[in-house]
Amino acid sequence: MTAYLQVTDLNKRFGGLQALRDCSFTIAKGRITCLVGPNGAGKTTIFNAITGFLAPDTGHVAFQGTSLDGKTPQQVVRHGIARTFQNLRLFADLTARENVLAGMQDHVGEEPFAAIFRPIHTARTLAAKRLAALDVLAHVGLQDRADTLVRNLSYGEQKLLCIARILATGADLLLLDEPTSGLSGAALTEVMALLRRLQSEGKTLLVVEHNTRVVQQIADDVLFLHHGHLLAHGSPAEIIADPKLAEIYFGGAL
């Protein structure tokens, strides 16, 4: 049986820095996989390589048996993979609802021809999509903030909106870059509950996560990355129990 997402022998070099070195792993459908490792381990580089933002020097990425090599970011989204960014990259001058709408695919009137020559059809479908966007927002608990400008949302709300925005793309595999960083208390619990809920709805999640408590609570599998190389692959308990990995993980920081 082919793996849901298969990453094989990725290598990427930036000048003198080997960002990824023979990096291989697979991800199983319907599971939450956490990608951990110290800063600069290459976690975001892997995201960039999978989603087409970065061409690896060598290596392959395949999704549900289809090769993603050489695909552009927008083609990758069409295949059903969407990502968030560590620094959010929300559209700050748009409302929450408009951000979600921007994530939705196959809009009528997303090019000038239909917008100008089929205005009524455009307006009708847009009205429907606006309602659908409200549903997506409700899914992450932001339905009351739909028409608020993003710049006026709290940080926690912005984090939730990032997830809502990629949910709107309809992707099945969600790549979340540090969805809980900078959150605490209720906001943190809320995001963790959301991730669980998404899993129960059939989504597969690959999450870059620093917080070991979060990893323990949500991860089914853990990938441990160091210097661009996959050091270990296992359950959260196994990874955390390994003293060598703990040394690498906390060694630099302490």
Does 85 bind other proteins (CB under 8 A)? Our answer is yes
Which residue stretch of 5-13, 86-94, 133-141, 236-244 sits at the interface with other proteins (rule: CB under 8 A)? 86-94
Q: Residues 137, 163, 72, CA angle at the centre, nearest 5°? A: 125
Does 91 bind other proteins (CB under 8 A)? Our answer is yes
Does 134 bind other proteins (CB under 8 A)? Our answer is no
Tokens 């129990």, located at residue: 241
Q: Rg for the chain (alpha carbons), in Å?
A: 19
Kindly report the number of other CB atoms within 10 A of residue 142's CB atom: 23
Does 108 bind other proteins (CB under 8 A)? Our answer is yes
Does 90 bind other proteins (CB under 8 A)? Our answer is yes
Minimum CB–partner distance for residue 97 and other proteins (Å): 10
Q: Which of 2, 66, 67, 74 is close enough to bind other proteins by CB under 8 A? A: 74
Minimum CB–partner distance for residue 5 and other proteins (Å): 17
Q: Which of 21, 86, 98, 143 is close enough to bind other proteins by CB under 8 A? A: 98
Nearer to other proteins, 74 or 189 (CB): 74
Does 110 bind other proteins (CB under 8 A)? Our answer is yes
Does 128 bind other proteins (CB under 8 A)? Our answer is no
Nearer to other proteins, 130 or 229 (CB): 130
Does 105 bind other proteins (CB under 8 A)? Our answer is yes
Does 103 bind other proteins (CB under 8 A)? Our answer is yes
Kindly report the number of other CB atoms within 10 A of residue 185's CB atom: 8
Q: Pattern 141-180, binding to other proteins, x per CB under 8 A? A: ------------------------xx--x-----------
Minimum CB–partner distance for residue 114 and other proteins (Å): 8
CA-nearest of 22, 192, 53 to 44 is 53
Site residues for other proteins per CB under 8 A:
51, 53, 72-74, 76-78, 82-83, 85, 89-94, 98, 101-103, 105, 107-112, 114-116, 119, 122-123, 126, 129, 165-166, 169
